Structure 1
Amino acid sequence: MVSATLTAARAAQHAQLIRQIHTAKRDLGLDDDTYRLTLARFAAGKTSSKDCSAAELHAVVEHFHDSGWPRAGGARQKPLSPRQKKMWALWQTLADQGKVRNRRMAGLLGWIAGQTDNQVQRLEWLTPAQEHTLIESLKQWEAR
């Protein structure tokens, strides 16, 4: 009886971790190849989440958190500063114009990482000078 309960609990935990990983994949905008390479990196070469152990799945979830995917029940994300709101608004305008394929925050953060010398991956890590330069770049892109 106890063994069956433990097995059911482990299966439920495994299923929950797989759901988290697939949600993170979607939220982070990962394509299938990138997702499977990430699994292989943190799960001893396995490329399917169903084949992974709970420990391997935890490692993948932690990697996604380290990559910017928010933790459930964790600290709330800071509200955007006025400059960050401006970048977000310009990004959405570019998406509406069809100039940006990924209108989500992950798309903006990817673009920012490519535009900054130190490959900044979070809005709060930008310096005021970087924010100004990025806003001006987005404005010029919109005008083209």
Structure 2
Amino acid sequence: MVSATLIAARAAQHAQLIRRIHTGKRDLGLDDETYRLILARFAAGKTSSTDCSVAELQAVIEHFHDSGWPRPGGVWHKPLSPRQKKMWALWQTLADQGKVRNRRMAGLLGWIAGQTDNQVQRLEWLTSEQEHTLIESLKQWEAR
């Protein structure tokens, strides 16, 4: 039999993770639709954080960290621009299709460095033309 203390501790952990997810959503500048799509992808189709298990909530938080949201004590990166979000979404789609082995931000940045003449290491260093070219390249890669 599970003790009342253990049940209360699990409920408190669940509530804390939900608060962290909502903070991450705000900090990353996610609109409600994007947020719910992320939940659905990492929480077996669930679109409400209250319906998620602790493990699913932790997976969403890990995805937020991969997207630039800092870990506790980490360095904050500014939220992604719409074009950067598009690159990230396309990268995740390619990973879902098995065309990319490293679905993390480091994988995308490595690919970007290899695709740009000046070997850009950070998304915010891309020019508008480079962003456009990279998005189109990702779209073509996805179509293949």
Same fold (TM > 0.5): yes
Name the larger-Rg structure: 1
Q: Which runs of 4+ in 1 moved over 3 A?
A: 109-115
Secondary structure of the structure 2 residue equivalent to 1:9 = helix
Q: Does 1:118 align with 2:112?
A: yes
Pick closer, same or farther for the CA change 1:10–1:67 going to 2, 3 Å. same
Unpaired stretches in structure 1, ≥5 consecutive residues: 79-104, 136-144
* Contact 1:65 1:71 (8 Å CA) reproduced: yes
TM-score (norm 1): 0.57
Pick closer, same or farther for the CA change 1:30–1:6 going to 2, 3 Å. same
Pick closer, same or farther for the CA change 1:31–1:125 going to 2, 3 Å. same
- Matched residue pairs, number? 100
Pick closer, same or farther for the CA change 1:3–1:67 going to 2, 3 Å. same
Which stretch has the larger CA shift, 65-74 or 20-29? 65-74
RMSD over aligned Cα, in angstroms? 3.5
**AA of the residue aligned to 1:8:** A
Pick closer, same or farther for the CA change 1:14–1:110 going to 2, 3 Å. same
In structure 1, distance between residues paired with 2:41 and 2:29: 18
Unpaired stretches in structure 2, ≥5 consecutive residues: 88-110, 114-119, 129-144
After superposition, residues 1-144 of structure 1 pair within 5 angstroms as: 3-74=3-74, 76=75, 105-107=78-80, 109-111=81-83, 118=112, 125-126=121-122, 131=125, 134=127
TM-score (norm 2): 0.57
In structure 1, distance between residues paired with 2:53 and 2:2: 21
Pick closer, same or farther for the CA change 1:53–1:114 going to 2, 3 Å. closer
How big is the shift at 1:106? 1.1
Aligned-residue identity in percent: 65
